[in-house]
Amino acid sequence: MKITEYVSSSFDVNFFGNVGNTILFKNPKHYDFIIVGAGAAGSVIANRLSAKHYKVLLLEAGGPETPYTQIPKLGHFLYNTGYNWGYLTTPQKHICRGMIDNKCDMAAGKALGGSTAINNMYCTRGNREDYNKWAAMGNHGWSYDDLLPYFKKLEDAFVKPFDPVYRHRGGPFHIEHPRYWTDITNGSLSAGKELGFDNIDFNAKEQFGMGRTQLSTKRGKRHSTAQAYLVPARKRPNLVIKPFSHVTKLLIDSESKEATGVEFFTNGKLYAAKAEKEVILCAGAINTAQILKLSGIGPREELDKLGIPVVAKLNVGRRFKNHVSFLGLGLIYKNTTLAKEDETAEIIEYLQKGKGPLSVPGTETIAYFKTGASGHKRRYPDIEFFFHNENPAITAKSFRFKPEILESFKSLGNKRILEIGVMLTHPQSTGTVLLKDKDPFHHPLVDPNSLSDPDDEDFRTLLAGIKKGLNFADTEAFKKMNLVVNKYKIAGCEDHEWGSDDYWKCAIKLLTVSVHHVTGTARMGPKCDKDAVVDNKLSVYGVEKLRVADASVIPITISGHTMIPSIMIGEKASDLILQKWKAKGTPQN
């Protein structure tokens, strides 16, 4: 039996032990804090607040991980299980045209650990300028210098080079380089040097350049925030963790406009729980927006249309930002075919040493640079490259590509491919998350609206990135590896000359996909910002005792992936909460 056949959507409820007592709707149990969502930020906050003896209820719609979900190479297969919310976008015009129904897959973790339980585990902080822009918008306390202590606090980093000014060992979240790599690692680093990419730690002082991938693994095993933060805290009697608990709405007092608790569905019944101090939404950028709106917090016209009483008129879900990546740039190894996998040997090596192909998701190096096509005047990265060692047919299948697109990949036969992913770091296009109806079990309408900006800056930047990626084929390092550009035309673009701008425009629409870095749906900003939903303390405007702490508050996109910034937000939010309630009295025992 193949190892991939062991991936299961079933959950071991007893994995985390303390799941608390049943909370009857008619007689709700009271806690100091209720946290909705046990993902990148929620797990952090549950740990930090319960460590101070507060009574904390952590609600998560999904279940615990299993030993199989913690095998890094199996991450793609988890997208087709109950660990994924399974969000799909509305049909798109400019991206995902090669996917079934022209809908982008929007994977989001539904598990203890959230997306850290199913993602590709890439650890990137972003650029100093990202956070300085946040502060310049009026978000006091969110500059890079303000946040660097939190980036360091969260990590237990075993990376090279190691600069103690920027990196830290001893934190909860383990970060390491891949424990398995191919010729792609040294080859791409050498090729990058020829093209002016310095070999760097992109999470330290300098982000421009190329470095070995940094993963959230520990001795080769996925290290989610559930493993890092909840496992050490799960035996605390004041922390109740309830998996399989789907929050349907927030309870808000109509007179005082205070969040008093939540309603949630579990074991086939509806329950309620009350929060004496605060409710903290950490459900992820899509689900958090849905819960806020179902609770009466959102744009008036949208809520009125569905008959939802308005508690606070805020532009929830109207500043949706999402990273996209082009997956159609590949280099073929001449005269080299894919080696037949010896899965038995791979399993033995993984179980004995935590090494081998099963210990990595595929990408071996990452690079950041500025194309010049975007409007950024400063030295600010607009493209990320990731150099991927994976069978392109497997990658394509995990993204729900149409049969004819899959056939295009199959036309490569058994050739070995080096894929260069081209990710747009700062899209100008803005999308929306809207309610489909009032049913909390129906997915909202997610429209990224990607590559739709009127000035075509996003398209021009992505095209410039693709052309820069093609330069790698001309380096001596890649020539020595017998790499040549894959010039097989993708299905649907046969009428265009390969390599022409018209060909790339066609291919971009078909093969550009979401990489699931959703931000901005509950944007942080000062009160004068018409799109702001939370202030710099992460408190929701117009509603007392309610905060949002997840990627939805990110006001400007990250020059990188969103996992580490989301964990950082959890650490920062924990301090903000503890500072407030310490000033109001000592924690309850």
Single-letter amino acid, residue 357 = P
CA angle 40, 43, 48 (to 5 degrees): 125
Q: Where are the alpha helices (DSSP H) in 111-198?
A: 128-136, 144-154, 183-194
Helices (H), 339-456: 343-353, 392-398, 403-410
* Active-site pick, 94, 168, 246, 561: 561
> Contact at 8 Å (CB) between 142 and 536?
yes
**Cβ contacts of residue 11 below 8 Å, gap of 6+?**
62, 63, 64, 66, 82, 111, 243, 244
Which neighbouring-strand residues pair with 210?
199, 367
Catalytic site includes residue 561: yes
Of the candidates 94, 174, 516, 517, the residue annotated as catalytic is 517
299 is written with which tokens?
């744009």
What does the alpha-carbon distance between residue 316 and residue 287 come to, in Å, rounded to a whole number? Answer: 11
Write down the residue that tokens 């580490």 correspond to: 564
Helix (H, G, I), strand (E, B) or coil at 414: coil
Question: If DSSP codes are grouped into helix, strand and coil, which group holds residue 451?
Answer: coil
Put residue 482 in one of left, alpha, beta given phi > 0 → left and psi -120 to 50 → alpha. Answer: left
Q: Retrieve residue 220's tokens.
A: 């080769």
Closest CA to 291 of 315, 256, 262: 262
Using DSSP bridges, classify how beta strands 415-424 and 312-313 pair: parallel, antiparallel or unpaired.
Answer: unpaired
247 labelled ligand-binding? yes
Contacts of 216 (CB under 8 A, 6+ apart): 116, 121, 123, 173, 174, 175, 222, 223, 224, 563
Q: What angle, 0 to 180 degrees and rounded to 10, lies between the N-to-C axes of helices 563-583 and 42-50?
A: 30
Residue 35 to residue 110: CA distance in whole angstroms: 15
Binding residues for FAD: 247
- Give me the active site residues, please: 517, 561
